[in-house]
Structures are given as C-alpha cells and as structure tokens.
Amino acid sequence: MRKTSLALLALAGLSLGACGYSTGDRAVSGGLLGAGAGAGVSALTGGSLGTGALIGGAAGAAGGALTSGRDVNLGRPAWR
C-alpha cells in the first residue's frame, strides 16, 4: 500500500509539472502521462503493456486537448 501511495504521489507531481499554456502542450503532456499510466496499470493487472500505453495515451491526449487554458493552466511545461 505504501509503494502504491508513493507512486501515485510521484505521478501527481509529474502531471502538475507537465501542464502547459496551449492546447498542444496539454495534449502532448496528457498523452505522455496517459501512456505511462496505461502501461503501469497494464503491468499491475497482467495485461499487454503496449495496449495499455496506447489506450492511456489516447485518453490522456484527448483529455489534454479538450481542456481549456482557462480551466487548467499551471504555467510553462517542464520541457520548455
């Protein structure tokens, strides 16, 4: 339980550091975070890592692209 909590806390910190100004920045960061989360969930449940990463990446990119800069704008993304 402790390892899971620490992993979720680290993921939350990374996701907040990756948000960006533009729709494209949010789509890219959402896709990357979703792919990582999807692969992680697949690894824990015994599924295919590639399939989990693809589904998670698509869901994350869609979520990032559909959010508004007024709703989610935590500043400049970490990679810029």
| pTM > 0.75: yes or no | no
Residues 14-45 have pLDDT tens digits of 555 556 667 888 888 888 889 889 988 888 88
- Name the one residue in this structure whose structure tokens are 């100004």: 21
Length of the chain: 80
CA neighbor of 42 nearest in space, from 57, 20, 31: 57
Residue ranges of alpha helices (H) inside the chain are: 2-17, 23-45, 49-66
For residues 22 and 27, give the distance between their C-alpha atoms in angstroms, rounded to a whole number. Answer: 9
% of residues, the chain, pLDDT over 70:
60
